[in-house]
């Protein structure tokens, strides 16, 4: 096996251990590191287990001990050059005598980046190697948040074929199928914040937790954020202690996201009603749309999104379709389709 082949296999392994189940999704990135001997064999490996724990490089170096001298470090993210809760990985690699560093994703964090330059200045052979796209996908929300200075926003809603999220009497429980609701909980688990408006809390009284098929909350829960100026009724389930809840007393989506970013939240799952959806869409603050479409017609009732002020088809907010999935139920009436989309830039309703 050539060194290049060994490094690529090591990067695949580093990505796999970085994605170890149970590692928190934020606020730090998921990172894996594999140390290779000159002959391409693995000396040690490590991965970051969450804020305040050793970084992946430090964990691998600790496992390797003196064997790290002369090794190649294959790491999914450019080693940091920043002292935070832990010391700079660049200095740890230099002190350990690592000969070469191969990394996948360049660190987008302006506070922590610069490790590659520090290593190169110390005489370490440094290369941005393979699988950068895979590394970025592993930390999609974190990369977006540190690049844009706000959390990534995914707007999720369920609708009938004619765009209704509830019937005229307000009932909406069976718009989405059991399979769609299970899928929603899977997506909730990939985010660190659930966001709704005060009206949704008052009218629908949602739990806003991630639950298993038995409706039992999972051990690790996203933050529950409620946005709006009104006080929350004390008997609402978002105040039941099953997960942490924060009340964002604002109607401004940009201010709400700034508050959440300051709380080190990286991925917001927007599940509010049509008014909140409109506010985020008009502010250009929806980055991903997940729609569950049920094969039913209502003809009247609450729209999935409130009036966007669009008077002509030329001003429509266009979406790019990224994925389509059929979520089969017990019969045809119970089948939903999940559409995953991105708003296209350039529409009048979107301002970056």
- The set of catalytic residues is 57
Tally of CB atoms within 10 A around 5: 10
Per-residue CA distances from 206 to 68, 171, 198, 210 (Å): 52, 14, 11, 12
153 by DSSP, 3-state: which?
A: strand
Token code pair at residue 311: 């008077």
Residue from 194, 174, 267, 177 nearest 237 by CA: 194
Residue from 268, 257, 258, 315 nearest 290 by CA: 268
Per-residue CA distances from 290 to 10, 181, 191 (Å): 34, 12, 13
Per-residue CA distances from 250 to 81, 129, 276, 279 (Å): 37, 45, 12, 12
Token code pair at residue 194: 């659930």
Q: Are strands 164-166 and 302-303 parallel, antiparallel or unpaired?
A: antiparallel
Map tokens 């089969």 to a residue: 328
Count of helix runs (H) and strand runs (E) in the chain: 10, 15
What is the H or E stretch that residue 70 is in?
Answer: none
Token code pair at residue 86: 């832990």
């Amino acid at each position: 096996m050539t060194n290049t082949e060994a490094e690529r296999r090591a990067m695949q392994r580093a990505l796999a251990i970085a994605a170890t189940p149970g590692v928190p999704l934020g606020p730090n990135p998921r990172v894996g590191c594999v140390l290779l001997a000159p002959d391409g064999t693995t000396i040690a490996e490590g991965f970051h287990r969450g804020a305040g724990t050793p970084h992946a490089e430090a964990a691998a170096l600790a496992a390797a001990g003196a064997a790290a001298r002369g090794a190649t470090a294959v790491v999914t993210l450019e080693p940091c050059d920043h002292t935070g809760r832990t010391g700079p990985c660049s200095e740890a690699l230099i002190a350990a005598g690592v000969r070469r560093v191969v990394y996948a994703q360049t660190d987008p964090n302006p506070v922590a980046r610069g490790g590659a330059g520090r290593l190169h200045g110390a005489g370490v052979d440094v290369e941005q190697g393979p699988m950068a796209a895979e590394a970025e996908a592993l930390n999609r929300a974190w990369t977006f948040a540190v690049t844009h200075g706000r959390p990534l926003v995914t707007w999720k809603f369920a609708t009938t074929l004619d765009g209704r999220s509830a019937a005229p009497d307000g009932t909406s429980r069976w718009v989405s199928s059991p399979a769609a609701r299970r899928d929603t909980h899977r997506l909730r688990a990939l985010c660190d914040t659930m966001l709704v408006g005060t009206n949704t809390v008052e009218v629908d009284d949602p739990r806003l937790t991630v639950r298993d098929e038995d409706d039992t909350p999972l051990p690790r829960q996203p933050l529950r954020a409620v946005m709006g100026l009104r006080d929350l009724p004390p008997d609402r389930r978002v105040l039941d202690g099953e997960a942490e809840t924060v009340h964002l007393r604002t109607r401004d989506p940009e201010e709400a996201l700034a508050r959440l970013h300051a709380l080190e939240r990286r991925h917001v799952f927007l599940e509010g009603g049509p008014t909140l959806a409109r506010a985020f869409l008009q502010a250009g603050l929806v980055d991903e749309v997940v729609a569950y479409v049920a094969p039913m017609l209502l003809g009247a009732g609450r729209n999935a999104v409130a009036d966007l002020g669009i008077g002509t088809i030329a001003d429509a907010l266009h979406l790019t379709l990224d994925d389509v999935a059929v979520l089969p139920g017990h019969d045809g009436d119970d089948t939903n389709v999940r559409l995953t989309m991105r708003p296209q830039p350039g529409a009048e309703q979107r301002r970056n």
